[in-house]
Structure 1
Amino acid sequence: MKRKFLILFSTACVLFILPACGANADGSESTENYPSESITYSIPFDPGGQSDVEARRQQPYLEESLDQDVVMQYKPGGGGSVGWSELINKDPDGHFISGINIPHIILQPLANDDTGYQTEDIVPVAIFQATPIGIAVSKDSDIESLEDLVKKAKESPGSITAAGSGTYSGHHIALLQLQDLAGIEMQYVPFDGAAPSIQAFLGGNAEVIFGNSSDLIKYQDDMKILAIGSEETFKPLPDVPTFKELGYDMTAGIDRGVAVPPETSQEIIETLEKAFLDILDEDGVEDDMYDEGFEPKRMGHEESLEYIEQKQSEYSKILENVEEN
């Protein structure tokens, strides 16, 4: 009888302890056991792009801090929407994460009802990098400043052509913001990517370029950069004023971060948040970002949620104004 009691007692203890070791009350995996297998890091664009460059930089640091393999996956299509549609349907166990880009994850659902995801479905872990967007003219242009450009645009509405990458993209929304704040109208010429747009501009096919900071740095001797969309002075271009410094309350850029599926536990989010943000403290990482034309950012889960909500409000108003006009 005594032996039977001990067996039953031991079995009860095991059953009581096991759930605590492997899962939370809601069934999601506990950080005590996370990660328990390799992590798939999905990039919703082709290999070799700016999102891939940053993810590859992060990969060895993540493997060390999480003590698991991090396997890269590429899921291009729909400007990122194919990959983000996959993300929101994955199990929320922390073993599938995806790179995210802002404004893409905001503008796509606002402009199209058939993206396969909504902005609210995406759960940001961290935002760790940005590519500021600047505005420039040819080095031979008679325009010397942003104010010169605004003045010329007011004198002849719609006559100035402005090249950029894509429609309802970071470049397009930067143009729409500037037009709204400055009370001007320019003719936007979208290209299929940043590289084609910068080449068209350098070839004289557009008077103005809305360009990524990395391209502006690369070709700065061939143009006059009038303003940059960073929050503060952009370290690689110290002599270029920000839009805010010139009196236009706007930032412009492509923010990059990482997200998990809906219903991922807070513990897993916090584990990944720390792993990603700690990379910025590694020797040389921020310097390398600046050298490549990027801007380091440090936004955790909560701050990223607030930032996305703020940008969603800004962009919604801009698009409403466009539709009304």
Structure 2
Amino acid sequence: MKIRNALTAATVLTLATFGAAQAQDWPSGNVDYIIPFGPGGESDITARLQQPYFAEKFGQQLVVSYQPGGGGAVGWSQLNGMAADGSVIMGVNLPHIALQPQQGDVGYQTDDIAVVHMFHYTPDAILVSADSEFQTLEDLIAHAKENPRRVIFSGSGKGTANHLAQVALDKLAGIETTYVPFQGTGASVTALLGNQVTAQWGYTTVAAQQGEAVRMLAVAMEERHAAFPDVPTFRELGYDLVGGAYRGVAVPKDASEEVKQAVADAIAAINADPDFQKQMSDGGFALSNIAYGPDMDAFMADRVAAYTEAAKSAGVIE
């Protein structure tokens, strides 16, 4: 028994030493960065922004590829079958990974996804066209109170961050509005600019891209966005609404603790770069620094609970 215990202890020590050495050497080569969507979306845009900083800081390349399907579910359902040595990482999105498994069999459960860093989010925002009669959020809410369900919002799909934000604000403001889901943010913007809807539940990135063609009435951030200092937060206006579409990086669940930490540290190092921060801000993104460990566990538990409650109110899940 003593010999067996000694061998076990030696084995554990060897594995721990190997894991630490493996993480210390990471990345030992190029890293495959899989985006579970098609090219051109915000997950792709931010991955492309990360690439040169990764190369500069770590001497290896982030090789971006795409595995679209099922709103990300195809990629996420296959993640845990991929190499767990840190040579593969994958983009992840909230509320997607929180709600998809509750809507049906998508090949994975939320707890199956080993998220190691949430590095940014696109804050929810209400936008109107530049020629809209509504100058402020208060104007729009007052109109909604007088005209139940006649204020029509476009948004990027059913059960998305936009949709859940609409449900939350309706409850907070005591209004009833109508939400029309479109196939993505681009189509939602087209509907807004074409005067097919009253306003859009979109993101700060829309304002960055559309410029003077739109007017942003409020942003779902704790503080005002640096690129839009004149736009108030919902909290400033009396509505406790903070959030958006969160994006991060995951690794296969069987990756060692050392590899998980090494990947998390690398993403955090990119986030800390002032040039990267400026690029993200200029694009309308907002950085977050939620890293692997207790902070991530608490964040995920909070977000899953909040999204689940809103999704039930929206009729997205039972």
Letter in 2 for 1:182: A
| 2:243 counterpart (235, 243, 252) | 252
1:40 equivalent in alignment to 2:18: no
CA gap 1:28/1:297 in 2 versus in 1, 3 angstroms: same
Q: Hey, what does 1:8 align to over in structure 2?
A: none
- For residues 93-112 of structure 1, what are the structure 2 equivalents within 5 Å? 93-110=85-102, 112=103
Q: Is the CA contact (8 Å cut-off) linking 1:28 and 1:93 kept in structure 2?
A: no
Query: Could you tell me how far 1:297 is from its partner in structure 2?
Result: 1.9
Which of the residues 65, 78, 81 maps onto 2:70?
Answer: 78
Q: Which residue of 2 aligns with 1:57?
A: 49
Instruction: Tell me if structure 1 keeps the 8 A contact 2:35–2:64.
Output: yes
Using the TM superposition, give the Cα deviation of residue 109 of structure 1 relative to its aligned residue in structure 2, in angstroms.
Answer: 2.1
* 1:198 Cα deviation after fit: 0.6
Q: Deviations over 1:96-142 (max 9, x none)?
A: 210111122112223x1222211111111111122112102233333
1:88 is paired with a residue whose SS is: helix
Q: TM-score, normalized by length of structure 2?
A: 0.87
Q: Which of 233, 256, 265 in structure 2 is aligned with 1:265?
A: 256
The answer as to whether partners of 1:62 and 1:70 remain within 8 angstroms in 2 is yes
* Structure with larger Rg: 1
Aligned length: 309
1:102 partner amino acid: L
Assess if the C-alpha contact under 8 Å between 1:28 and 1:92 holds in 2. Answer: no
Segments of 5+ residues of structure 1 without an aligned counterpart are 1-14
Q: Which residue identity is paired with 2:303?
A: K
3-state SS in 1 of match to 2:81 = coil
Contact 2:20–2:258, Cα closer than 8 Å, also in 1 = no
Gaps in structure 2 of 5+ consecutive residues = 1-6
Deviations 1:74-108 (A, max 9, x none): 10111111111111332432222101111221122
Q: Which residue of 2 aligns with 1:192?
A: 183
What is the root-mean-square deviation in Å for CA atoms of aligned residues? 2.7
CA distance in 2, matches of 1:70, 1:221: 35
Which residue does the alignment assign to 1:287? 278
Measure, in 1, the Cα distance between the counterparts of 2:239 and 2:153.
18
**TM-score for both structures, normalised by structure 1:** 0.86
In structure 1, the residue corresponding to 2:217 is in which secondary structure?
A: strand
Structure 1 residue 29, shift from structure 2 partner: 8.3
Aligned-partner SS, 2:126: strand
1:159 and 1:165 mapped to 2: Cα distance? 19
Separation in 1, partners of 2:135, 2:50: 40
In the alignment, which residue of structure 2 is the partner of 1:203?
194
Q: Percent identity?
A: 39
Residues 49/21 of structure 1: CA separation in 2 closer, same or farther (3 Å cut): farther
CA contact (8 A) 2:38 2:68 kept: yes
3-state SS in 2 of match to 1:284: helix
| AA at the equivalent of 1:201 | L
